[in-house]
Amino acid sequence: MTPGGGSGPMKDCEYSQISTHSSSSPMESPHKKKKSVPKRKWEVFPGRNKFFCNGRIMMARQTGVFYLTLVLILVTSGLFFAFDCPYLSEKITPAIPAIGGILFFFVMGTLLRTSFSDPGVLPRATPDEAADLERQIGNTEDIANGSSSGGYRPPPRTKEVIINGQTVKLKYCFTCKIFRPPRASHCSLCDNCVERFDHHCPWVGNCVGKRNYRFFYMFILSLSFLTVFIFAFVITHVILRSQQTGFLNALKDSPASVLEAVVCFFSVWSIVGLSGFHTYLISSNQTTNEDIKGSWSNKRGKENYNPYSYGNIFTNCCAALCGPLSPSLIDRRGFIQPDTPQLAGPSNGITMYGATQSQSNMAAATPLLQSEPSITSEELPLPGKTSISGPCAALTLGQPTPPSSMPNLTSDSGLTDIIPLKEEHEGHQFLTPEEAPSPPGMLPSGSPITHSHTMHVLSLASQDSLHEDSVRGLVKLSSV
């Protein structure tokens, strides 16, 4: 209370309500942190990619041209189905809008499959793998430098493998820290090494590689058929109308047909040409990257023949379009495994094997489980000056005492005879007469232990042994 007589300090006190509905048990630590939600691998993906739908959709970062592709296909097809198909189905056949619908859905399906899938990205090396590989490369370069002149430049980081009798070089990627497998290349836009890299296509918003090449080829091939189909029937629509009302009146009656014809006319050439080029690549089992660089020749007789070609157009097409689809190597929807927690070792630096923390605590609390300290020259008991050693001083009164059959020591020189006995039984938990605890009440509180009191304890022990021997002798005589 303050001199003011009021409850001023009580007013300043604040009480916080303790929640009784806490889910934590009393044994849990109050400082325990909340478990963090594990992240998925796509959230920390090192490449320049965008992910949607919790990592299910993977695209390149530059997707503006992809949206332009979607708009052109959707708008052109929508105008065709809205303004041309009703007239054509009535005048010619209802199969026209049905066939157009099938082509449209096939084009959209293959486009989305190409754009939203993993093209075959190779995972980057872990820090340990990269360090080990750099160490191997460094040793190789040191050997090359040591065996040549001082101005020698180390060779490029490449390895050579033999594929169908043809030597293929594996180049080292300084970004991914790996030796790229055959036909793989690093995409500068996505910043990834892609297996069987063909090219980066901005129209689909993704790289084209081993895992989505077949869908890309089916997309451009079906888009070619759809473009030719729309362009042909738009012209047919305009011609049929012009026969009834004239050409100019036909254009005025269906202006959407004019827009469709213009879009299809300027795009059909590039789309059909691209489809033909990739048909050639598939038939020879090449990639766009290899064809541009001129890596291989289609003739087997030449030195740089294509080691990946089966020598048959049909077999090459089946291998590219009908072969098994390889799984993704990056596992973008997998969880990041946290580091395994390492148990902290004891404070003395000794590693404990097979012992739990509770066992070590029990050993620390029990004196008999501790190692007995060795006796040095400074700790040796001297005549007239006795002491109790450390481990035995911690014994409680309930501890067992040594056998009472001890020799009768009546002189100061007898105390020194105990030392060899102590050293002889150093590995055993026996107590010497000097280390034997006194019974309760024998020593007053706070009084020092004197030499005469020690001799008195030893004499009592010898008298007990003599009494026990005499009793045994009387028992033997009575039995006789």
DSSP string for 389-441: -HHHHT--TTSPPPPS------STHHHHTHHHHHHHTTTS----TTTPPPPTT
The backbone torsions φ and ψ at residue 75, rounded to the nearest 5 degrees and listed phi first, read -70, -45
Longest Cα–Cα distance of the chain, Å, equals: 154
At 320, the amino acid letter reads: A
Q: How far apart are CA 168 and CA 181, in angstroms?
A: 10
Choosing from 193, 201, 207, 264, the catalytic residue is 201
Q: At what angle do helices 313-321 and 213-245 cross, to 10 degrees?
A: 100
Degrees to nearest 5, angle at CA 13 with 7 and 17: 135
Tokens of 79: 């105008």
Nearest to 212 by CA among 193, 228, 196: 196
Q: How far apart are CA 222 and CA 216, in angstroms?
A: 10
DSSP string for 59-99: EES--HHHHHHHHHHHHHHHHIIIIIHHHHHHHT-THHHHH
As to burial, measured by CB atoms within 10 angstroms (0-12 exposed, 13-18 middle, 19+ buried), residue 125 is middle
Q: Give yes or no: 176 in active site.
A: no
Residues taking part in catalysis: 201
